[in-house]
Structure 1
């Protein structure tokens, strides 16, 4: 039984076996490579295609999340600007400014300002 990482590597190089519970750096990766290269060419091709499909799916999901964030930020920014404009119009109205002047300054419809 191998007792040190070096012993585990030597055992692997001699007989190609790796303990399932190994913690030796690099041996888990070596096991995965060993599994991969022990597959037939057809199996490797199918495995590679499967990994490509997974990567494409992950890219699609990442892109959708990114687009959703951008859209959400734009909506939030527009809502914030609209709220600020309404607050400004309400403040101007409280100061006694004419509704027509407020409409000219803010671009809000006179009817909307009248409801504030």
Structure 2
């Protein structure tokens, strides 16, 4: 039977920033991006600090892929709804923070934003979404390409290779059936367990490193508090969201009743009849 492992958000904040544990993140990113990833360093920035006010967990890392390209990858783990603008802001901030003062814009780093989401986000039936930037002709719908000079300058084959890329992993949409090695990682992200026979890159080290039983008593207490806080935040979100929906429905019904009463009044229907149909008082109807 699989042991319960430390949740990925806690691991990102407390464990995976250590060079000794880079292999875990390297494995996950290699499976996701379909290229061998080697972490060069964890980048420090204002948005990458470990503070009690950090409402979502994030780590920025500089990596090298199998073609020797240097990339900046930011990994975020969140249960928050206000997200599309958040990841846009985060990638923009990452780009600006890591462009040296006075450097040419051609030196802007390629940023890949990997987002592990634990809430229902948008409408869709998949559990991994990939977003890139491309420019399409308004009239003939052709895709704008880089010139040969630009390819050499930017060290890129297409425009999408320059702009940030986004991966949205909607964990709750995953059906718990691991069809390939990437799915093995998604299974772990959702269930905090690694099944016997899983062989995706990095998972073996994750199984050894993220074992809850290996935590000290102090670490377990801190981790338990963290888990309780997540449950509390989820409950607060659910209750606030449901309450907001109910209030919105009530307001919509009230407005519909008023519109109906106004239309009936304009049609010359007696006030007493309007009152019976809508439930409004004769005094309320008189003010319409």
Pick from 240, 251, 254: which aligns with 1:79? 251
* TM-score between the two structures when normalised by the length of structure 2: 0.29
Aligned residue pairs total 93
1:90–1:33 CA distance, 2 compared to 1 (3 A): closer
> Bigger radius of gyration, 1 or 2?
1
Pick from 92, 97, 100: which aligns with 2:269? 97
The gaps in structure 1 that reach 5 residues or longer are: 1-17
Segments ≥4 residues shifted beyond 4 Å: 18-21
Q: CA RMSD in A?
A: 2.4
The gaps in structure 2 that reach 5 residues or longer are: 1-18, 28-200
1:1-116 map, 5 Å: 21-22=22-23, 23-24=26-27, 25-26=201-202, 28-29=205-206, 32-33=209-210, 37=214, 44-116=216-288
Q: Displacement, 1:32?
A: 3.0
1:9-60 Cα offsets, whole Å, 9 max, x none, are xxxxxxxxx85654352265267349x84x7xxxx11101111100000100
Q: Going by fraction, where is helix more abundant, 1 or 2?
A: 1
1:20–1:72 CA distance, 2 compared to 1 (3 A): closer
**Separation (CA, whole Å) in 1 of partners of 2:20 and 2:219:** 24
Q: Compare relative contact order (CA 8 Å, sep 6+) and give the higher one, 1 or 2.
A: 2
